[in-house]
Structure formats: C-alpha cells, structure tokens
Amino acid sequence: MVVRGVRDAQERRSGRRWEYGLVACALGVTGLLVLHSAVPNRVGRLGSLLETFLPWLGVAVPLLGGVALLKRSVVGLLACLAPTLAWLWMFGGLWFGSSPGSYDLTVVQHNVADDNSDPSGTARALLGARGDLVAVQELTPEARAAYEDVLGASLPHRAVHGTVALWSAYPLSDVRAVDIRPPGFPDSWQRGLRATVAAPEGETAVYVVHLPSIRLGATGLASAARDESAALLGARIADDPADRLLVVGDLNGTVQDRGLDPLTSQLSAPAKGFAFSWPASLPVARIDHVLGRGVAVTEISTLDATGSDHLPVVGRTRLG
C-alpha cells in the first residue's frame, strides 16, 4: 500500500508538470502572437523573422491540444483556448471572411524568375487569370519578347523599366521610373516604376516594385537593404498625390514584417486570403503583394506554379 501510494503521488506530480508545461507553452504562443512587435529586432532581426512566419504559430494549437488529450488534461485543453482565440482575432478574417462579390480591377502579380526556362508558358498562365493588370518582376531582356507576344493582344498597354513591367487593359500615362535603390547599389539596379492607369472607375496610380532579397543565415535575418528600400518607397508613396493607388510587387517580406512598416503602414492589405506565394514548391509566406490606398483589395489568391520559384497571386480590388 505504501508503494502504491508513493507511485500515485509520483504520477500526480508528473501529471501536474505536464499540465504546467502545456499551460506555459500555450501562454507562450499566445504572447508571441499578440506581442510579436515586442520581440527585439536588434539581434539577427529576430522580430522580423518571427513576423515572416507569424500565421504558422497556429500550428502549435492542435499539437498542444493533442498532447492535452493524450494526457487527459482538462487544464491543458482549456489553456489551448488562449492561442486559438488570439490566432482567430489576428487571422480568422483571412481564413473565414467572405469577400464582396463585385470588384473593379483584377491584378495579377508574379516574380517570373530570371532563370525561368518557359517564359511563354508563364505568360500564358498569367493571361489565363483574366487580369486587367499584370505586373512582373525579374523580367530579362531575353524573355521580354515572349511576354509581349503572349500578353500584348489582350493587354495592349505596357510599361517596362529595368526588370519590372506592367501590362494593362487600359491606357497608361505618366509612366516614370521609381528609384528605390539602397545606398551603395549600382545604377543598373532598376526595380521600380509608376504609371497611371485610366480605369473606367477612375484613374489609379500603380507602382510595380521589387525590393532587395533577404537572407537567413547563422547571424539571423539579413534584411537591411530590403528595409532601406522599403523606406525609400514609403517616402515616395507618402508624397504621391493620387487618390487611388496600388503597390504591386515582390516585397520580399510579409505585411506583418516590421521592416516594411514605412510602406505597409500607409496601405491596406487584402481582406481575405492567405495566398502564400513563396517558395513555389512549399509556400510558407506571402511576399508577393497587391496593396492599396484609396483602393480596397477585397481578396487575394494564388495560381498554379509556373517556371518560377514564386507562385503568381491574383488580387481583386474595388476602387474607393
């Protein structure tokens, strides 16, 4: 009897340790979701790294819930409610929300990859989305003719600057280069343009951009050049007098990433859809964007993979 009593006490203590651990993990996940901006960015840009994959913290909920069920822990299951509610508060609208049925412009965005071996096939895939606007990045001089041949008939108006381009069903005017080069980048680095689209619902300024790449290494996330480019673009957007404005492109970051705050703080993100676009083989983050000011991006989705390491995204917009 004494031995059994000792064993029962040990099992109870072990069960309590499991419960404490489950509660601590659940509260930790909740804290990272709600207070992600408090994670410091000075060392390895850990805050930006967390924010890049922030929606994936929701995966912890079924894992913790499964452990709680195995351990028959009511306390553990109740603790899982905290991260569940936090995730739904932050991302539930993207998952469960319904977008309005009507829209004015369909915008297709794609980093087509400069090593794409099938530019004609990629162009046909973009054309199949029936977009009013098609924006691309990493357009090479060798591949340009293929995109013009495929897209030109349905989208006769185009603007090209460096490695970014825009095809439009409506006339374009006031086409100009947008210099978003971080300090030290050469003049040949040309990744931004602005054009005014004469849409039936009203003229709309459209920026097509490609911010510098980021790298994840032993020292953390290397995003300084991307952040500097985002600040330059943000300043241009702030000075732009257009009532309706779209920013379309590969921003090499998610809208939660604080490194893009100088830009994204001025723009509205899609109301519905996760549309993870990178990498194409196993998409874990949406770094390809359709963002608006005075324009509501009601929904965003992805297309099937092309010859690029990104998936194309399609944004439905209403001009406010």
Q: What is the pLDDT of residue 43?
A: 85
In the predicted model, is pLDDT for residue 79 greater than 60?
yes
In the predicted model, is pLDDT for residue 2 greater than 70?
no
pTM of the model: 0.92
Q: What is the pLDDT of residue 96?
A: 83
d(CA 122, CA 187): 29
State pLDDT tens for residues 211-249. 999 988 777 788 999 999 999 999 999 999 999 999 999
- Name the H helices within 2-99: 2-34, 46-52, 60-70, 74-79, 81-96
Q: What is the pLDDT of residue 301?
A: 96
In the predicted model, is pLDDT for residue 12 greater than 80?
no
What's the average model confidence in pLDDT over 176-204?
96
In the predicted model, is pLDDT for residue 1 greater than 60?
no
State pLDDT tens for residues 301-315. 999 999 999 999 999
Domains contained in the chain, CATH given: 2-96 (no CATH), 105-319 (3.60.10.10)
d(CA 86, CA 307): 37
**Cα three-residue angle 282-230-46, rounded to 5 degrees:** 60
